[in-house]
Amino acid sequence: MQNPPANEIGARRAYGTMIAVAAMAIALSGLAVVSEPAAANHRQGTLRRLAQVRHRLVGTAIGLPELTTDPEHRIVAAREYSSVTPENAMKWAEIHPEQGRYDFTGADQTVTFAEANRMSVRGHALVWHRQNPAWLTSGTFSRDELIAILRDHIHTVVGHFRDRVRQWDVVNEVVADDGSGLRDNLWLRGIGPEYVMLAFQFAHEADPHAKLFINDYLSETINPKSNFIYDYASLVRAYGIPIHGIGVQMHRFLLLPESAADIEANLRRLSDARFLVWITEMDVAVLLPADATKLADQATVYGEVVTACLRVRRCRGITTWGFTDRYSWIPGEFPGFGAGLPFDESLQAKPAYAAIAAALRG
C-alpha cells in the first residue's frame, strides 16, 4: 500500500526486558524501568524475543507525552520492543530551540528509558525540512554560516549521545516525491547539494561507531524516488562519505495495494548493494470505522512486510511509528483514517500483532 503522493508522510508528530503481571517497577528519572526476573514467564512470546531469535530488532517510535505520563504504555513498550525512536525529542525545534542553546531534556529521557530496558536507540533526525526553529528558518545566513550551523548542530547532538545512540537518520525526507532530485529546502538553497555529504561527514566525525542512514517515504518499491535514493546513496558512498544504510519508512494505506514482492525486490537490491536496510516508520492506515475485515487485511500487510524484511539479509530491523492507536499520528494528519498500529487504544493486541509474531516465528 502506498501513500498518496501529494502528502509528505514522515515522522511528523511530534523498551529492555519483559514484564509479567507480577513485575516490579522502579523509578529512574521518573520513568518506569522493567524488571527482568518478573518477566521470565512472558519472554518467549513477545515480539522482541521472537525478533531476537531471528537476529533482528523490532522497534517503535515513542513520544514524550506517553513516555512521561502513561505507565501502562511504558510497560508494553518495554515488554514488546527492542528498539526505540524518539518521535520528536531529537528534532531541531525541540533539541535546538534557540541559536547557541540546546535542550536535551526530552531526548535524554527517551534514551534513559531505552537504556534502562536494554533497548537500542535510533536517532531521528539530524536534517529535516520540517519542525525547525524560527531562528533557523527565518534567519539570514551566508553559505559558510549555514555550514557552521549544520556542523555545530550535528557535532553537538551526535556527540552528546556518542556510543549510546547506535543509528542515526542523518537526513530525513530529502528527496523530491517524483524522484527528480533533492527536495527544495533551506539547506539546498543555502549550501547546495553537498549539504547531504557534509551532514554524513559531520555525523561520522561526532561518532565514528554509529551507523548512518538516509530515511525517506514513498520509497518502498522500485520506483523513480527509490531509484534516485539508490543511485544517490551509492554515489555519496563512492566519494568515501560514510553512509551505511537506507531507511524505508513504510507508511501504508489499505486503499492503495502494492505487491509484497515489489517491496522485497527493493529491499533486496539495497541489501545486495551492501547497504543496511531498516523499515523505520511502518503503519497501515485504515479507512474508519475499522471492522474485522479491514483489520484482517491490515494484518496481512504487516505480516507480508515483516516476512519481506526477514528474507533480506541486511534488513536489520522493523520499527512501527508508535505501537498503539491511543497515540497514533494518523487521525490528526488524515481525517477519516486511523487504527494503523498493532495495538488498539486500550493497548490490546490486534490481528496485526499476531501477524507480526507469526512472521517472526516463520
pLDDT at 37: 31
State residue 362's pLDDT score.
87
* pLDDT value at residue 18: 24
Q: Which three cell numbers stand for residue 347?
A: 493497548
Query: What HEC string does 10-63 produce?
Result: CCCCCCCCCCCCCCCCEEECCEEECCCHHHHHHHHHCHHHHHHHCCCEEEEEEC
- Alpha carbon distances (Å) from 137 to 93, 97, 198: 10, 12, 19
pLDDT at 316: 97
CB neighbours of 109 closer than 8 A, spacing ≥ 6?
A: 29, 30, 31, 64, 67, 68, 89
Give the CA distances from residue 264 to residues 51, 127, 212, 219, 249, in Å, rounded to whole numbers and listed in that order. 18, 27, 22, 12, 14
Region at 163 (left for phi over 0; alpha for psi -120 to 50; beta for the rest): left
User: What pLDDT does residue 24 have?
Assistant: 25
The partner residues of 167 in beta bridges, in order of sequence, read 122, 211
State residue 44's pLDDT score: 57
Q: What angle do CA 153, 100, 102 make, to 5 degrees?
A: 65
Query: Which 8-state DSSP code applies to residue 161?
Result: T
> Looking at 66, 87, 94, 173, which residue is catalytic?
173
Kindly report, residue by residue over 164-174, the tens digit of the pLDDT: 999 999 999 99
Q: What is the pLDDT of residues 78-100, one digit of tens each?
A: 999 999 999 999 999 999 999 99
> Quick one: which of 218, 197, 176, 209 has its CA closest to 127?
197
* Residue 12 to residue 249: CA distance in whole angstroms: 12
- Of the CA atoms within 13 Å of residue 166, those in its CB half-sphere come to 12
Place of cell 547497504: 275
Q: How far is 338 from 78, CA to CA, in rounded Å?
A: 24
Residue 228: count of CB within 10 angstroms of its CB = 19
Question: Annotated catalytic, 281?
Answer: yes
CA distance 122 to 316: 12
- Name residues of the chain where pLDDT drops below 50: 1-30, 32-43
The backbone torsions φ and ψ at residue 182, rounded to the nearest 5 degrees and listed phi first, read -75, 145
Phi (first) and psi of residue 64, to 5 degrees: -65, -40
Element (H, E) at 95: helix 92-95
pLDDT of residue 31: 53
The burial class, CB within 10 Å (0-12 / 13-18 / 19+), for 15 is buried
d(CA 282, CA 284): 7
Residue 254, pLDDT score: 85
